[in-house]
Structure 1
Amino acid sequence: MAVTEATTKDWDPARYGAFRDLRLRPALDLLAQVGELPAGEVVDLGCGDGAVGPALAARFKPEHPLSGVDSSAAMLETAAGRMTQWENPIYGALIQADIALWAAGTPPALIFSNAALNWLPDHASLLPRLATMLTPGGVLAVQMPRQGGAPSHRLLAEVAERLFPGRFPVARAPVLTAGDYAQMLLPLGEVRAWTTEYVQILDPVPQGHPVRAFTESTAMRPFVAGMSAEEAQAYVAAYDAALAAAYPALPDGRVLFPFTRVFFVLERP
């Protein structure tokens, strides 16, 4: 893994997109649970590189305009490039904004957020705020990883603490259980909430452990961002070794990687 200032300060669309199919499947599972919408815009909140855009556009356009919102300039640049690959642009607008502070200009029919809100704290305030932006009958549909207790994510903090004591305080993951979100949102409308464990089969990679190749573009970023290049190399090597024990390779070199995700769909009255 080559660690540079560019890769630690912003998202890397190429690394993130290397597992596009595995990351897209939960979004499609969430989309399948969204029913008919009232009039209004569809917002892809935390749209990233626009991977879910084609599915949202195919489902809801032209009746519902589609906008993407993300804080990463690199991801939005990739999403903008994706717009030119279609006869009709996927997104009508791409907005760079902190999704924790974003507010809709007009009430959306759907706020769709795939693997983005897990990066934000205080869901007890954030989610009701998003829900109350919706037009009457509008829908908030959210999918978030809930992987904090799994070796893939737990070892990130454990290895960092072992190598660099006290430099990386362990923060409680903000993602709650599906039941917690149902209880939180029931006063605001009809809620469906569920959890799915995806057993992902990861192929061997040229360097390092396959699980590290999956996490390095997401959960590993906050740790590596606070390290020098030399520290990051030592950290990655130690994390690879820990992963090899936690996720041993199959005879063909592939690795089974269970991954838990939480979903909920709220329909406003």
Structure 2
Amino acid sequence: MSRETAAVWDPAQYGVFGDERARPFNELAGRLGGPPPARVADLGCGSGELTATLAARWPDAVIDALDSSPEMIAAAREHEIPGRLAFRVADVAAWEPEQPVDLVISNAVLQWVPEHPDLLPRWVDALAPGGRLAFQVPGNFDAPSHVLLREMGRSPKWGGRIAHLQHDAPVLDPAGYLDLLARLGCAVDAWETTYTQVLQGEDPVLEWVKGTALRPVLSALGPDEAGEFLAEYRERLRRAYPAAPYGTVFPFRRIFVIAARNDP
């Protein structure tokens, strides 16, 4: 998570829909063929469960995993493997490896780094010959969950406190990432997937967003204000995502990129 969010992250809240949140990472990692990497950097590793799957997949790899959230890293450290998998608190925007790496993987973090299109060339330069950059970001910033949040955050009632936290579509589309990385000499595979999810429970879309997009907002508001904001947002979400007898449908669009460095 980037320092730009100024948010306090809650690993337990983020994990409420852990299986659903893991699907994009698993899809991204599933497309990584080729020889096993020896050196891996996981930038924005969160609470570490998904990074641990990489260690299991590539038992000879050394993995450096980092996240700017001390709360997330504290939870991740239970997955550490001495000499093979280490977690540390650091800002992904400032990351520089001690030596080139075979794989840079970044799961659901670049949307928190507004300048990340300017950051990606540095990550490509950090790759060893033939190395790969793999990342996925949310593509649902035009979904009601995010549109409603931006509208509220910029309203006269709330704008004075949280308008600065509202950003319009901070990610590119697949074609935009392909163009950026292909111009750097990479072979690029870029695609998107929309998971048509059915969430269970009371106000599940609110519970989902409380684990991600709402974190900076809740960190900026006092307890009473946060409660009032959540009550208003809850009612708007209920209208936008009406519950059905089988659950609540919550489409979840993701953008994926794998860029392989082409070296002579």
TM score, norm. by length of structure 2: 0.90
Structure 2 residue matching 1:52: 3-state secondary structure: helix
Distance in 1 between residues matched to 2:38 and 2:63, nearest whole Å: 9
Give 1:166 deviation, angstroms. Answer: 4.2
Alpha-carbon distance in 2 for matches of 1:251, 1:93: 44
CA–CA separation in structure 1 for the residues paired with 2:52 and 2:83: 6
Amino acid at match of 2:142: G
Residue 228 (structure 1) aligned to one of 201, 219, 222: 222
Please say if 1:121 is aligned against 2:118.
no
Matches within 5 A, 1:173-212: 173-187=169-183, 188-205=185-202, 209-212=203-206
Counterpart amino acid of 1:193? Answer: A
Q: Once superposed, which parts of structure 1, at least 4 consecutive aligned residues long, lie more than 6 Å away?
A: none
Work out whether residues 42 and 110 of structure 1, in 8 Å CA contact, stay in contact via their aligned partners in 2: yes
Say yes or no: does 1:237 pair with 2:234: no
Q: Give the root-mean-square deviation of aligned CA atoms.
A: 1.7
Show the 5 A alignment for 1:114-193: 114-162=107-155, 163-167=157-161, 168-169=163-164, 170-187=166-183, 188-193=185-190
Partner of 2:38: 40
Contact 1:38–1:138 (8 Å) recurs in 2: no
**In 2, distance between residues paired with 1:90 and 1:182?**
35
CA distance in 2, matches of 1:39, 1:26: 20
Q: Percent identity between the aligned chains?
A: 40
- CA apart distance, 1:91: 5.0
The answer to whether 1:79 aligns with 2:65 is no
Where structure 1 has 5 or more consecutive residues not aligned to the other structure, the ranges are 1-7
Q: 1:105 aligned to 2:105?
A: no
- The structural deviation recorded for 1:124 is 2.4
- Following the alignment from structure 1 to structure 2, what is the Cα–Cα distance between the partners of residues 240 and 91? 43
Could you tell me how far apart the structure 2 residues matched to 1:164 and 1:34 are?
Answer: 43
The reply on whether 1:12 has 2:4 as its aligned counterpart is: no
CA contact (8 A) 1:41 1:66 kept: yes
Is the contact between residue 67 and residue 73 of structure 2 (CA under 8 Å) also seen in structure 1? Answer: yes
**Alpha carbons of structure 1 residues 94 and 165: separation in structure 2 relative to 1, 3 Å:** closer
Query: Residues 60 and 263 from structure 1, CA distance in 2 versus in 1: closer, same or farther, beyond 3 angstroms?
Result: same
Distance 1:141 1:180 in 2: 15
Question: 1:38·1:137 contact (CA, 8 Å) conserved in 2?
Answer: no
Q: TM-score, normalised by structure 1?
A: 0.89
Kept in 2, the 8 Å contact 1:40–1:107? The answer is no
Q: CA deviation at 1:40?
A: 3.4
1:5-31 C-alpha deviation (Å, 9 max, x unpaired): xxx842111101111111111101001
CA distance in 2, matches of 1:106, 1:178: 29
Q: Distance in 2 between matches of 1:39 and 1:201?
A: 36
1:230-269 matched pairs, under 5 angstroms: 230-252=224-246, 254-269=247-262
Higher strand fraction (1 or 2): 2
DSSP-derived class of the 2:196 partner: strand
Name the CA distance, whole Å, in 2 between partners of 1:230 and 1:248.
27
Equivalent residues in 2 for 1:19-30 (5 A)?
Answer: 19-30=17-28
> 1:21 & 1:166 partners in 2: Cα distance?
36
- Partners of 1:246 and 1:172 in 2: how far apart? 19
